[in-house]
Amino acid sequence: MGAHAYAVTSYLSGLAASAFGWYTTYASPSSGSFTPSNREYLNDAHMDDQCLVSASAASGMNVIIDLGSARQLTGVAILNSNAAVQKTDAAVLVEASSNATFAADVNVAKAATTLYSTTTPKNKDHVLQFTANHTKRYWRLTWTWTGTVTNFVIGELFAFIGATQLSRRSIYGSGESYEAIVSQAPLQYGETRGLFQAGPIRQLDLQWDDLTAAQRDELYNMHALSNFGARPLLWIESYESTVLAAAAAEQECIYGRLIKPGFQWAHKDFAIYQPGGFSIRSLGREAGA
Amino acid sequence: MAWIDLLKLDGAGFAWLVDVSFDDFATVAYRWGTSSVHVGSDHYRGRICEGGLSKLTRGFGNENTVQAGMLSLLLNNTDLGVDWLMDRATVASQVFRARFRVKLLLYEVGNVAANQATKTLGTFKCIDFPSRDSANVSLQLSDDTMGFFNEPLVSPTLRDWKDDAGSDVDNCPLHASYGPQPAREWDVPLPLAFGDGRLDCFAADWDHGNDGTDGTPVGDMDGCRAIPVCVTTSTDAVTSDDVQYLWGVYGADVMLGTQKWAEGAGTTIFIPKQYTVPADSTIGVPGDTNTIWEPQKTQTISKDGVDWKLLWVKFNISAYQTWFQLTRNIVVGGAQPNGDIAPTANLVPEAPVAAATDYGKAFAAFAYFQAQGFPFSARTVDSQAQQLAPNVVKDLISYYSKGSSSDIDSTRFATALQMAPLAVSGVVLPHKPLESRFRYSNQPPPSDAITSGQLRQALVDICQSADLDLAMTWDGKLALYSSYFSFADLTATRVSIRETRCAQVQERVPSKGQRWAPYNRVYAVSPDGVPHGPFDNPDATIDWGATLERVLQGKWLQPFQAVNPLYSSTIWYSERRLESVVRPVIRFITDREGLQLDLGDLFNFTWSRGGSSGPYGSGAVFRVESISVDPKSLFVGIEAVWVDDLTTVNPYLIDDEILALRVQSSGGRTATVVDSDATVTFSSGDLVANGVVAKDVLVLGDSTQAINVFTRYRCIRILSVTDATHLELDTADLDFDAGAGVAVADWKILRGKQTYHTAVSDPVNYPSGSAMYGKAASDSDVYGDATAANVLL
């Protein structure tokens, strides 16, 4: 298990929708192209607004992202997507190139990684972390699976450079909770009718203790960089930096907000600090998620 | 999955959606939701805050017209995405015209894309400016009706006509060449008129600078004046029916010479279109046929994107003067003509003696005119000189408001037309000009006997006059409801609501002044605003031991028959149908299945209060009066009035010909006929058991014979039934083209005129007291005795 890490800046934000070019096959991008009408949802910092890629998505579908200039990405999160919900063998390959069509200079940044597919809603959010080996303008994600994915959607793509690691992991007492938004309408004669609106919504409750000043400041910086919850952050449960395919634990992430707009700490002993805990709550998902 | 199935699906998912449009939903500019979701090919962005949508309501208003539904909406603006609602520039260009359509999305959880359905639950507009704080924008919305149906379209004015490029000296008496005297009423929007009431009209200009005969002829309108009648969006050419009759009303100060003309002052005279000068007349040209007035329509005048025509009367003053002189022996506005006609006088308003050619003076003797015609501004007409209330409401919304025919629930309007076909007449935007130069202070004001206010007030008056309710359905369409029920209402499958799925059930009897308050005495207010009555329900007044009044508004009712004993009438097609019935109103909340109902719908409601002694333990029929939905729980609040007597009081009599069938051929059962033999032999079956009796009718339809050979293709009365398989025919014509006998395969036996149903023989299908038309009905159109129902046929 690696260190916790986080990222607050997505290097995809600000890109125009036209920066995302979707292609059905690797070999002939020009002949099989199509344009989702809602590509702008890929980088709008909303997981709930999903880009509907295809009503019936075949294996090999890929997107080429034009960053505008060469950048040395170290990871990309694919958030609120349903490929691994429907397929246990859904995998993603990350490549980088200086060639807009990947006709040449194709570099594997992250080997094809089978996406974690077991527990909802973790199977909708995945992060792929890799080594800072490639400084390229064009990046390509290629999905493969058996058969087709119905209504293949992606809520958000989040690409980052150098996720910030924390020196300490959270302690015992930390945990995770799930909440659903359900309306219950009681009637006379004992009947209650239920209505579903959303959920489960993930929340991490993290506890920390016995930190040094430097470790404490790492947490403070995380709060400050995320504007104390005003700005969503990508929380990475287990940091890694490799071109090899990721294990399930290294894909785990949560894209959410710090739910308390503040940070405080107390002396516990000389030069030992107790910042208390904080919680990160996932951004919401689409209706019926 | 259909909407209704998702509604009943337990654990279904839901989201509220809002479409925002600036062009009446030709396109949708924004799509918001309580959560983000794809609906078909549309994406809704989650923007409505938690608790940011208030309760939605629909209801019948106390004034028989739309009760405006209000809605508040709180939108997340942390991404600055709805700042346009507050920015000064876009408030002016977008917010005022924005319409907000609210929909409820239901879906199967886990299968959203495949199993989803939406229902529109209202269309709204901003009634107040939005407000915003650092994170949210708050909107206060109201039903469209607050804006769209409050005012009629801006109609053309006389100045628009005068200045229109198509107006010239030959078609417009206001053309500058005639030197018309500008008046302030030239800028009054011209009225809309409906029905066959007398419509008050004013002259466009009493005086001209040039009248042709004074030496400056310029065109076809010389010596003529325009009397504007009404405007219409119909581009049909003018016909003689457009204005059929014209009356002139003299001013109270009209003079005869130097004396007040007591006989004529303030009186109304009928003015014919034409007259013929008698052959021996010394006035005019003997034998000539002169036209005093004729209806005219202007060229199409476009205003604010709408094409209009003005209906007006071209009034020839010279012809009028001659006619008046011929018929009344009075010279109108002139010196004594040749001949021995007395008295010599002038008929002008308070003024010195004028020359005969002073047409302005002669014309100004009239205070105003009254016109009667057809169809005026109406676009939907059922018969000559009769415009029915539902059609007038439909026309006002479809053609004379900012709405359109797509804003109308055509089915509900059609039903209302069946149930409340009362004729109405009146004016929208009545022309009430300021004093003209020839109207004097002691002249009577324009009559407002059949006039009304602006569009919303006109709709109120029409609905109140015809016992209609105008309301908005869930999907934002305007619907018209009669308080009486159609046959379709009675026979439709009704939604059942059980008390086990309800809460907070309450019942009350409406108080005086409220909808459905019981009454046993009415006052009928005539179109001129005068209450008539009281008219009492002779039974209920005594039985109740108290008098409960109700005022019946009749401002648009035409003809108005205040003298009729209204309570005794059950004729709904020409009069209002009154009752003295206590109708309780219930109120309860139920689960989301209540969304199956809309305003005016009938449903069965059971209320046993946990036992068998409840007031509606076995169910009763109610009619939805108001409905609301809580956006969080989807609890539906319903208020409804008891109408369980709909099938027992004045039910519909359905004269179903199938009921007349005794038996018909089937299973190879043939009827054999033989020439010159009155006996018919049936191959099987039992005629007695089939109920066949003497005077029934045997109908032969032998398909092996040509249909124009009437020997085995005819109806024959039965003389008697001999036994199970034989009967005797009651006819001398026994030519069947069947010398050796022919077995006819196609036949049936029907009840005959003398064996038809009566209320005694078949009280189930022909109940006494049914509402029906035809000869079998009483004078009150009630089927009330044992008269054979086939008299109807």
Confidence check: pLDDT of B681 > 90: yes
Domain range annotation of chain A: 5-165, 175-282
pLDDT of residue B572: 46
Q: Distance between CA atoms of A130 and A143, rounded to whole angstroms? A: 17
pLDDT at B448: 42
CA–CA separation, B603 and B580 (whole Å): 23
pLDDT of B348 over the 70 cut: no
DSSP sequence for B523-548: EEE-TTS-EEEEEE-HHHHHHHSS--
C-alpha to C-alpha distance for B649 and B645, rounded to whole angstroms: 6
- Look up tokens 């005495």; give the residue: B521
Does the beta-carbon distance from A49 to B13 stay under 8 Å? Answer: no
Coil/strand/helix, residue A125: coil
Helices (H) and strands (E) in chain B, counts: 11, 47
Partner residue facing A196 (CB), from B11, B500, B632: B11
Residues of B in contact with A37 (CB under 8 A): 41
Taking only the tens place, the pLDDT of each residue in B725-748 is 999 999 888 999 988 899 999 999
Q: Which residues of A touch B109 (CB under 8 A)?
A: 196, 288
Interval B419-431 mean pLDDT? 79
B609 interfacial to chain A (CB closer than 8 Å)? no
Phi first, then psi: give them for residue B567, nearest 5 degrees: -65, -25
Report whether B254 contacts B265 (CB < 8 A): yes
Asked if residues A143 and A128 have their Cβ atoms less than 8 Å apart, the reply is no
On whether the CB atoms of residues B204 and B173 are closer than 8 A, the answer is: yes
Contact B95, B75 (CB under 8 A): no
Closest CA to A218 of A11, A73, A6: A6
Partner-chain contact B109 A38, CB within 8 Å? no
pLDDT reading at B294 higher than 60: yes
pLDDT tens sequence across A1-27: 889 999 999 999 889 888 988 775 433
Architecture of domain A5-165: Sandwich (2.60)
How far does CA B506 lie from the centroid of its chain?
Answer: 34
Is A185 touching B (CB cutoff 8 A)?
yes
| CA end-to-end distance (rounded Å), chain B | 46
Minimum CA–CA partner of B44 in chain A? A49
What average pLDDT score do residues B711-721 get?
Answer: 92
Residue B332: is its pLDDT beyond 70? no
Is B590 an 8 Å CB contact of chain A?
A: yes
Q: How far does A222 lie from chain B, in Å, by closest CA?
A: 21
Q: How far is CA B580 from CA B509, B520, B544, B565, in A?
A: 13, 5, 10, 14
C-alpha distances (whole Å) from B767 to each of B653, B656, B756, B757 are 7, 13, 14, 10
CA distance B120 to chain A (A): 18
As a whole number of angstroms, the distance between CA B514 and CA B641 comes to: 12
The residue ranges of chain A whose pLDDT is under 50 are 25-35
pLDDT confidence bin for B443, thresholds 50/70/90 = very low
Statement: residue B622 has pLDDT above 80: yes
Q: How many CB atoms lie within 10 A of CB B296?
A: 22
Q: Alpha-carbon distance B768 to B493, whole Å? A: 25
Asked whether the predicted pLDDT for residue B367 surpasses 90, the reply is: no
| Closest chain B residue to the Cα of A86, Cα to Cα | B110
Q: How close A164 gets to chain B, by Cα (Å)?
A: 26
Which residues from A are below 8 Å from B632, CB to CB?
A: 183
| Confidence check on the interface: ipTM exceeds 0.85, yes or no | no
B270-274, B316-320, B562-566, B686-690: range with lowest mean pLDDT? B562-566
B80 in contact with A, Cβ within 8 Å: no
Burial per residue of B593-623, b for 16 or more beta-carbon CB atoms within 10 angstroms, e otherwise:
bbbbbbbbbbbbbbbbeeeeeeebeebbbbb
List CB contacts (< 8 A) between A151 and chain B: 38, 113
Residue A45 backbone zone (phi > 0: left; psi -120 to 50: alpha; other: beta): left
| pLDDT averaged over every residue in chain B | 82
Tokens at B493, concatenated = 């499958």
pLDDT reading at B323 higher than 70: yes
> What residues of chain B lie within 8 A of the CB of A79, using their CB?
none
Q: Which two tokens stand for residue B78?
A: 């942390």
Question: B 290-329 residues with CB below 8 A of A?
Answer: none
Torsion on CA atoms B44, B48, B51, B52, rounded to nearest 10: -130
From A187's Cα to the closest Cα of chain B, the distance in A is 6
Q: A193 contacts in B (CB within 8 Å)? A: 10, 591-592
The crossing angle, in degrees rounded to 10, of helices B389-400 and B410-419 is 150
| Alpha carbon B259 to chain centroid, angstroms | 49
- pLDDT confidence bin for B779, thresholds 50/70/90: low
* DSSP strand pairing (B770-771 vs B192-194): unpaired
Give A189's contacts in chain B (Cβ within 8 Å). Answer: 499-501
Q: What is the pLDDT of residue A48?
A: 86
Token pair recorded at residue B416: 């209302």
* β partners of residue B424: B557
Cβ–Cβ gap A46/B14 under 8 Å: no
When pLDDT is cut at 50, 70 and 90, the band that residue B770 belongs to is low
Q: What is the DSSP string of B67-102?
A: ---EEEEEEE-TTSTTGGGTSHHHIIIIITT-EEEE
Contact B387, B420 (CB under 8 A): no
B313 against A34, higher pLDDT: B313
Three-class secondary structure of residue B18 per DSSP: strand
pLDDT score, position B450: 39
Give the count of Cβ contacts less than 8 A between chain A and B.
102
With a cut of 90, say whether residue B361 has pLDDT above it.
no
pLDDT of residue B483: 79
What pLDDT, on the 0 to 100 scale, is given for residue A104? 94
Question: What residues contact B42, with CB distance under 8 A and at least 6 apart?
Answer: B28, B31
Who wins on pLDDT, B105 or B791?
B105
Sign of CA dihedral B672, B674, B676, B679: negative
Of A186, A195, A286, the CB nearest to B36: A286
Interface touch B591/A185, C-beta < 8 Å: yes
- Which of B 100-129 lie inside 8 A of A, CB atoms? 105, 107, 109-110, 112-113
In this predicted model, what pLDDT tens digit does every residue of B220-269 receive, in sequence order? 888 888 999 999 999 999 999 899 999 988 877 776 666 666 666 777 88
User: Which 8-state DSSP code applies to residue A274?
Assistant: E
Cβ distance of B36 and A50 shorter than 8 Å: yes
Identify which of A188, A189, A287 has the shortest CB distance to residue B36.
Answer: A287
Within 8 A of B503 by CB-CB distance, chain A residues are 186-188
The neighbour count for residue B640, using CB atoms within 10 Å, is 24
Rounded CA gap, A237 and B619, in Å? 61
Please check whether residue A201 is in contact with residue A284, taking contact to mean a CB–CB distance below 8 angstroms.
yes
Please say whether the beta carbons of B109 and A196 come within 8 A.
Answer: yes
Distance CA B66, CA B460 (A): 9
pLDDT at B489: 79
φ, ψ for residue B243 (rounded to 5)? -130, 115
B43, B104, B118, B134: best to mutate for the A interface, most A CBs within 10 A: B43
Report the C-alpha gap between B625 and B602 in whole angstroms. 10
Nearest to A187 among B11, B46, B591 (CB): B591
Q: Which of B35, B111, B116, B630 is the best residue to mutate to test the A interface, defined by the most A CB atoms within 10 Å of its own CB?
A: B35
Task: Note whether B483 and B576 are within 8 A (CB).
Answer: no
Contact of A183 with chain B, judged by CB distance below 8 Å, is answered with yes
- Strand arrangement of the beta sheet that strand B549-553 belongs to: B531-536, B521-525, B549-553
Beta strands in B584-683 (DSSP E): 585-590, 602-607, 616-629, 636-642, 661-664, 671-673, 679-682
- Asked if the Cβ–Cβ distance from B500 to A191 is below 8 Å, we say yes
Beta bridge partners of B45: B32
Distance, C-alpha A153 to centroid of its chain: 14
**pLDDT tens digits, B565-620:** 466 554 445 567 788 899 999 999 998 889 999 999 999 998 887 766 778 888 89
Give pLDDT, residue B669: 94
Quote the pLDDT of residue B145: 62
- Give the DSSP per-residue string, B235-290: -PPP-GGGS-EEEEEE-TT-EETTEE-TTTTT-EEEE-SEEE--TT-SSS-TT-EE
CB contact, 8 Å: A197 with chain B? yes
Of A183, A193, A287, the CB nearest to B10: A193
Cβ B14–A286 below 8 Å, yes or no?
no
Minimal C-alpha gap between A286 and chain B (Å) = 5
Query: Can you tell me the distance from the alpha carbon of B13 to that of B471, in angstroms, rounded to the nearest whole number?
Result: 30
B13 vs A288: CB contact, 8 Å cut-off?
A: yes
Sequence-distant (6+) residues with CB within 8 A of B543 are none
pLDDT of residue B39: 87
- H-helix or E-strand spanning residue B191: none
Nearest CA in chain B to A184: B633
Largest CA distance in chain A: 71
* Pick from A10, A2, A3, A6: nearest CA to A220: A6
Q: Exposed (0-12), middle (13-18) or buried (19+): which is B55, by Cβ within 10 Å?
A: middle
B144-174 pLDDT per residue, tens: 665 667 778 889 999 999 999 999 989 998 8
Closest alpha carbon to A138 in A98, A78, A94: A98
Q: What span, in angstroms and rounded, lies between the C-alpha atoms of B791 and B758?
A: 10
Q: Do A187 and B590 touch (CB under 8 A)?
A: yes
R_g (Cα) of chain B, nearest Å: 35
Whether B454 and B150 have beta carbons less than 8 Å apart is answered as yes
Nearest residue to B209 via CA among B181, B186, B189: B181
Cβ of B45 within 8 Å of Cβ of A196? The answer is: no
pLDDT in tens, B375-404: 999 999 876 567 889 999 999 999 998 888
Q: Does B753 touch chain A (CB under 8 A)?
A: no
Q: How distant, in Å, are the alpha carbons of A126, B127, B620 from that of B89?
A: 43, 18, 56
